[in-house]
Amino acid sequence: MEKRPLIIDCDTGEDDAIALVLTAYSKLPLKYIFTCHGNTTLQNATENSARIMSLVGASDVKVIAGASKPTTKHLWEKEGFTVGEDFIGRNGICNIELPKSNYDNISIPGEERYVEEMAKAIESCGPVDYIITGPATNFAQLCDYFGSDIKKHINSLTIMGGAIYVRGTRGGGVRNVGFDQRQEGQGLESWAEFNFYCDPAAIKKTLAAGFNPIVVTWDACIHYELSLEYINRMRSNAPGGKFVCDLMQAFMKLFGIKNKTHFEVCDPITIMAFLGYGNLRDEKVNVITERHHFGKCYPDPEGYPIRYFHTNEKEKDEILADMMRRLEIELSE
């Protein structure tokens, strides 16, 4: 694949952190990380990103702090909500304390100036590839900033988010049972996936921008969950690989074991999709921004075109094996 300057827009919690290590170790031309509200606080996401870049020796990557809240008032959650400390710890990376960055690699422009600074960063690189692994708030604001010229600055768009044909990961407190099926017979579940739930208006504007993005949905990600048995076999001597192993172990101790759940690698799989792994299927979707079913993504023949990422079991095993190789992680017998 042709290597163009890359931007990752993330809410750096546990699996975003692994995606950043994977990006660095895959030697992708990452230039900027834009951070956002979502998994954890904007401050945590920004600090985590900077420390991870330092850990893997990526001295030329700049972290710009972006949106601390959705583009519009959330209809169910209080301002400042996150995925929860019980899930990914107080700092978003399961309470692992990484060393402070060795580089002066953080910019905090503030709510009034972050969009302009991000836009100038994009303009300084030429057309960029753009990956979103958190809420789409920053990108939606960039759509407003650039207007119809945005396609002159963004070459391709890859997104992690949405639960189309399966029940999502957010909405347990929402009275959204009995989704009014937009296509008869689809049997859709009503809960939204977390990234889309955080800012439905932003993802809707992002999809409307016409990039026909690769979208790695929760539908695909549920097939990429790592068990404790698998995690216990992981070994690495590389700084980034060792961090990934430690992070997964910390998650299992904090949340996974007692809740009988596995480690989700949604964001690393999104990087693998960007690298060309897996299969893509043309679909058209829409996103609900009304209170009922808030953030739910659903098939819509009149909706926005996406390239829906999917894999079979054999491909899944191959992708996981190559992902571990790229992370410099070996599996013991």
Q: Note the pLDDT of residue 170.
A: 63
Q: Note the pLDDT of residue 168.
A: 86
Domain map of the chain by residue range? Answer: 6-327
**The CA-based dihedral angle spanning residues 36, 41, 42, 45, taken in that order and rounded to the nearest 10 degrees:** -80
Q: Is-contact 294 192, C-beta < 8 A?
A: yes
Q: Note the pLDDT of residue 269.
A: 98
d(CA 9, CA 130): 7
d(CA 17, CA 252): 16
Q: Note the pLDDT of residue 167.
A: 84
Q: CATH fold of 6-327, please?
A: Inosine-uridine Nucleoside N-ribohydrolase; Chain A (3.90.245)
Q: Note the pLDDT of residue 190.
A: 67
Orientation of helix 313-326 relative to helix 266-274, angle to 10° = 90
Residues 6+ apart with CB under 8 A from 185: none
Residue 229 φ/ψ, nearest 5 degrees: -60, -45
Q: Is-contact 3 126, C-beta < 8 A?
A: no
Q: Can you read off the two tokens belonging to residue 122?
A: 């994009």
Residue 313 φ/ψ, nearest 5 degrees: -65, -45
d(CA 119, CA 123): 6
Tally the C-alpha atoms within 13 A of residue 303's C-alpha that lie toward its C-beta: 23
| Residue among 196, 188, 140 nearest 171 (CA) | 196
Alpha-carbon Rg for the chain, nearest whole angstrom, is 18
Residues 6+ apart with CB under 8 A from 52: 12, 17, 20, 21, 98, 240, 243
* Residues in the chain with pLDDT values less than 50: 171-188
pLDDT in tens, 48-69: 999 999 999 999 999 999 999 9
**DSSP letter string, 106-131:** EE---TTTHHHHHHHHHHHHSSEEEE
The whole-model pTM stands at: 0.95
Q: Note the pLDDT of residue 179.
A: 41
Q: Note the pLDDT of residue 216.
A: 98
DSSP for residue 170: B
Q: Note the pLDDT of residue 131.
A: 99
